[in-house]
Chain A
Amino acid sequence: MSGASPQPGAAENGTPFGIDPRGPRFGAAITATLLLVVVLLGLTEPLGADLVSRALQPSAVLLTVLVGLFAWGAFAGIQKHPYGLLFRRLIAPRLAPPTEREHPAPPTFAQLVGLLVTATGLVLHLIGVPGALVVAAAAAFVAAFLNAVFAYCLGCQLYVLLVRLGIIRRSGAPA
């Protein structure tokens, strides 16, 4: 154990390099719970007869909110995600300072993967494909659950793999 943890004035304006890895996990726990609610609603509700009723059924409304949150994380960056703010305001001050920090690029990319999965499910549902909403929400749930409970971020692994294969370029230090 190296006792020193020099983290002067954690994250206020000038974010120190890397983020507390517990932040995205906290967010994933909320996301996983909400996705489970989407699955439950999707299973019990009948599929709406037309586009408007499909868009307004509770499962679709909640999934739309989640799609929006994923988009926020993917495009504004994981640090600016509302759950991240919630974590820094409410949770982090009650925890010991992080023993390690992680690069924000992989969890941000993971938000994009979450966005693609849930948005695809939502669009297919609106078109009227049966089961699309439940399947997409269930898939996204598994990923969020693995992240929250096992600290295994599927999207992050995918990011590292894609960087390795040269499909996406490594971002040195994104703002």
Chain B
Amino acid sequence: MSQIVTLGNTRQRFRIVGGMDALPALLVIGGLIAAATLLGLLVRARSTRVASGCGGDEHQLSVDGAEVTLVQLSSPVCSACTAMRRVAESLVAADPTVAHREIDVVDEPAVASRHSVYSTPTTLVLDREGHVRARLIGAVKPADVRAAVDAARLPVAVTA
């Protein structure tokens, strides 16, 4: 008996979700598309960016003799990592003072966890002393990589 009553209530409440008229239903659909688009734009804006002033030292990772070392943290199956590798390698080919090395976050999770890196590729920009001067998140555009590299050549701004 009580079950029938419950069912009846449920169905009555459910009229809000089911049995909607076409117009409000279409409005919901429109809202859903708009929300998904907004989310997509947000994700796109967040997925490639340059963060500077992150701090941290990775002396042991900086390549001897290089003014700037790009330490790329990659995962085994990630197409953006391939794109980022291409960008970094062409930069290194053009400028011998820059070095690039890649670390697999599955094989060597230590570096990634030291810097709380959760998305790949993330590239740490190390200066001559091995200080982390910036991190490049995603497949960053060549011009932005170059700008971050050039900034890392300058002496560290004195921290207040």
A and B found bound together: yes
Mark A residues whose CB is within 8 Å of B. 21, 36, 39-40, 42-47, 49, 100-103, 105-106, 128, 130-131, 134, 138, 141-142, 145-146, 149-150, 152, 157, 159-161, 163-164, 166, 170
User: How distant is B91 from chain A, measured CB to nearest CB, in Å?
Assistant: 15
B53 at the interface (CB under 8 A from A): no
In the complex, A44 Cα to B23 Cα: how many Å? 10
Q: B20: nearest residue on chain A (CB-CB)?
A: A43
B110 at the interface (CB under 8 A from A): no
Chain B residues within 8 Å of A142, by CB: 32, 35-36, 39
Chain B residues within 8 Å of A130, by CB: 10-11, 13-14, 17-18
Are B17 and A36 neighbours in the complex by a CB distance under 8 Å? Answer: no
Chain A residues within 8 Å of B21, by CB: 44
Partner of A160, one of B14, B36, B78, B83: B78
Are A128 and B10 neighbours in the complex by a CB distance under 8 Å? Answer: yes
Partner of B43, one of A36, A100, A105, A146: A146
In the complex, A100 Cα to B77 Cα: how many Å? 13
Q: Binary interface profile of B, 7-27, with partner A (CB < 8 Å = 1, else 0)?
A: 100110111011111101110
Closest CB pairs A-B (n = 4): A130-B14, A103-B77, A46-B19, A150-B40
Chain A residues within 8 Å of B43, by CB: 146, 150, 152
Are B83 and A100 neighbours in the complex by a CB distance under 8 Å? Answer: yes
Chain A residues within 8 Å of B97, by CB: none
Q: Can you offer 19 A-B residue contacts whose CB atoms are under 8 A?
A: A36-B32, A39-B29, A40-B29, A43-B18, A44-B19, A45-B19, A46-B18, A102-B77, A106-B77, A130-B10, A130-B11, A131-B14, A141-B36, A145-B37, A146-B39, A150-B43, A159-B77, A160-B75, A170-B76
Chain B residues within 8 Å of A21, by CB: 79
Given contacts A163-B76, A164-B75, contact A170 B25 (CB under 8 A): no
In the complex, A105 Cα to B7 Cα: how many Å? 44
User: How distant is A155 from chain B, measured CB to nearest CB, in Å?
Assistant: 12
Chain A residues within 8 Å of B29, by CB: 36, 39-40, 43
- Counting contact residues on chain B (CB < 8 A from A), the size range is 35 or more
The count of A-to-B residue pairs whose CB atoms sit within 8 angstroms is 109
Are A42 and B18 neighbours in the complex by a CB distance under 8 Å? Answer: yes
User: How distant is A53 from chain B, measured CB to nearest CB, in Å?
Assistant: 12
User: How distant is B83 from chain A, measured CB to nearest CB, in Å?
Assistant: 7
Are B105 and A134 neighbours in the complex by a CB distance under 8 Å? Answer: no
Chain B residues numbered 57-86 whose CB sits less than 8 Å from any CB in chain A: 75-79, 82-83
Chain A residues within 8 Å of B15, by CB: 46
Are A105 and B40 neighbours in the complex by a CB distance under 8 Å? Answer: no
Given contacts A159-B77, A160-B77, contact A141 B14 (CB under 8 A): no
Given contacts A44-B21, A105-B77, A149-B37, contact A161 B44 (CB under 8 A): no
Are A47 and B32 neighbours in the complex by a CB distance under 8 Å? Answer: no
